[in-house]
């Protein structure tokens, strides 16, 4: 009996077995590399496959997927992408700005589809939104641009906050822009903030200890795949120090975080899957405008709010897309 191959997104390095003497079917291979972890991004992996299916490509039937996860360690990305290129993938799907930038540097010939929370023109991925040029196109997720909104939501929930800490990863490609945006937003709101940097597990622990010493009233966790990779650690520390926190991904609120606000990642990755399918059918990235993903979601974990003794106003609840109870 002929054995079908099946790849899973959830194994980091995907491997599929063959029966003795069996031949690999002639079907395209998509290389999927993400800056975060498989565990933290189960939903986006499923959404990406859904987009591929909507464009006519079903994993294991007429397309194969090789997946690699950097687990928040951005220095691993060139090696992971190089490995995918050696596997002769037809398209590279690069999730997150660090992966997208690494893919752009690695190849000028292989088609690349990205998701990026930072302006793809500003960080050098494409020449323009409407006419990308070159071999790269994808989905622009407005992550960095929502830091102002996140700060406003945190202020509404903790109106008497004397000091709000902001957790930023200095290793993130656009950390400087994130910090600038946060300072501008804080000045506009008249809110005192303290930027605290962390780019390792140890530094995350130290960052929350510093927040406690500074008597920070709340913390804003900046958008970054590294922080998503350390979701459980960050959420647990926020609970331990009883500090209200706002995140960028719904998965953080679902895992026990107080609230999240950001672009709907699942929808963005579905769109990336659609674009991958179109390229597999012969379209050129240079002619495919960057998709602007503007579907946002605001999630409040009411159980966590009650644990922290916070009074969530009716107005704030009415604006939430989802309330976790």
Q: How confident is the model at residue 261 (pLDDT cuts 50, 70, 90)?
A: very high
**Residue 51 corresponds to which tokens in the numbers above?**
């987009």
75-112 pLDDT per residue, tens: 999 999 999 999 999 999 999 899 999 999 999 999 99
173-204 pLDDT per residue, tens: 888 888 998 999 999 999 999 999 999 999 99
Give the per-residue pLDDT at 5.
Answer: 39
**Once rounded to an integer, what is the mean pLDDT over residues 48-58?**
97
Distance in angstroms (rounded) separating the CA atoms of residues 317 and 306: 13
Give the per-residue pLDDT at 103.
Answer: 97
Give the per-residue pLDDT at 17.
Answer: 32
Distance in angstroms (rounded) separating the CA atoms of residues 272 and 16: 24
Number of H helices, E strands in the chain: 12, 13
Distance in angstroms (rounded) separating the CA atoms of residues 173 and 192: 25
123-134 pLDDT per residue, tens: 999 999 999 999
Give me the torsion for CA of 251, 255, 258, 262, rounded to 10°: 0
**Once rounded to an integer, what is the mean pLDDT over residues 107-123?**
93
pLDDT at 18 over 50: no
Distance in angstroms (rounded) separating the CA atoms of residues 259 and 248: 9
Cite the beta strand spans of the chain per DSSP E: 29-34, 64-69, 91-95, 112-116, 136-141, 164-168, 193-197, 218-221, 245-247, 259-263, 291-293, 296-301, 322-324
Q: How confident is the model at residue 56 (pLDDT cuts 50, 70, 90)?
A: very high
Which residue in this structure is represented by tokens 């590399």?
33
Give the per-residue pLDDT at 93.
Answer: 98
Tell me if 210 sits within 8 A of 188, measured CB to CB.
no
Tell me if 299 sits within 8 A of 259, measured CB to CB.
yes
Give the per-residue pLDDT at 264.
Answer: 87
Tell me if 136 sits within 8 A of 126, measured CB to CB.
yes
**Residue 278 corresponds to which tokens in the numbers above?**
């179109």
Q: Which residue has the higher pLDDT, 16 or 297?
A: 297
**Once rounded to an integer, what is the mean pLDDT over residues 34-47?**
88
Q: How confident is the model at residue 24 (pLDDT cuts 50, 70, 90)?
A: very low
In eight-state DSSP terms, residue 5 is P
In eight-state DSSP terms, residue 310 is -
Distance in angstroms (rounded) separating the CA atoms of residues 222 and 232: 16
Tell me if 13 sits within 8 A of 41, measured CB to CB.
no
* Contacts of residue 123, Cβ cutoff 8 Å, sequence gap at least 6: 97, 100, 101, 116, 173, 174
Q: What percent of the chain has pLDDT over 90?
A: 74
Tell me if 28 sits within 8 A of 90, measured CB to CB.
yes
Stretch among 31-35, 64-68, 264-268 having the lowest mean pLDDT:
264-268
Q: Which residue has the higher pLDDT, 249 or 284?
A: 284
Domains of the chain, start order = 9-142+264-295 (3.40.50.2300), 144-263+297-324 (3.40.50.2300)
Tell me if 5 sits within 8 A of 61, measured CB to CB.
no
**Residue 166 corresponds to which tokens in the numbers above?**
């902001």
* Contacts of residue 118, Cβ cutoff 8 Å, sequence gap at least 6: 97, 143, 144, 173, 174, 177
Give the per-residue pLDDT at 143.
Answer: 61
Helix, strand or coil, per DSSP, at residue 95: strand
- Backbone φ, ψ for residue 67 (5° rounding): -115, 145
Give the per-residue pLDDT at 144.
Answer: 55
213-230 pLDDT per residue, tens: 999 999 999 988 899 889
> Pairing mode, if any, of strands 296-301 and 259-263?
antiparallel
């Amino acid at each position: 009996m002929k054995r079908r191959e099946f790849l899973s997104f959830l194994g980091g390095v995907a491997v599929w077995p063959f029966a003795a003497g069996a031949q690999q079917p002639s079907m395209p291979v998509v290389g999927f590399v993400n800056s975060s972890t498989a565990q933290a991004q189960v939903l986006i992996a499923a959404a990406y496959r859904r987009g591929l299916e909507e464009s006519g490509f079903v994993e294991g039937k007429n397309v194969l997927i090789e997946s690699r996860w950097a687990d928040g360690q951005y220095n691993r990305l060139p090696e992971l992408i190089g490995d995918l290129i050696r596997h002769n993938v037809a398209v590279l799907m690069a999730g997150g700005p660090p992966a997208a930038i690494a893919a752009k540097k690695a190849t000028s010939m292989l088609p690349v589809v990205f998701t990026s929370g930072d302006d793809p023109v500003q960080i050098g991925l494409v020449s323009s939104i409407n006419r990308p040029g070159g071999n790269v196109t994808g989905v622009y997720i407005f992550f960095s641009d929502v830091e102002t909104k996140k700060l406003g939501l945190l202020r509404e929930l903790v109106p008497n906050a004397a000091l709000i800490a902001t957790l930023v990863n200095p290793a993130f490609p656009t950390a400087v822009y994130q910090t600038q945006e946060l300072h501008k937003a804080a000045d506009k709101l008249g809110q005192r903030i303290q930027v605290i940097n962390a780019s390792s597990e140890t530094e995350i622990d130290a960052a929350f200890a510093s927040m406690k010493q500074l008597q920070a009233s709340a913390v804003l966790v900046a958008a970054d795949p590294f922080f998503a990779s350390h979701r459980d650690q960050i959420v647990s520390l926020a609970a331990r120090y009883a500090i209200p926190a706002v995140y960028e991904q719904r998965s953080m609120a679902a895992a026990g975080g107080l609230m999240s606000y950001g672009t709907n990642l699942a929808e963005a990755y579905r769109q990336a899957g659609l674009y991958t399918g179109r390229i597999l059918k012969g379209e050129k990235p240079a002619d495919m405008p960057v998709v602007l993903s503007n579907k946002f979601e605001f999630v409040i974990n009411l159980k966590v709010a009650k644990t922290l003794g916070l009074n969530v106003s009716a107005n704030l609840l009415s604006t939430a897309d989802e309330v976790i109870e």
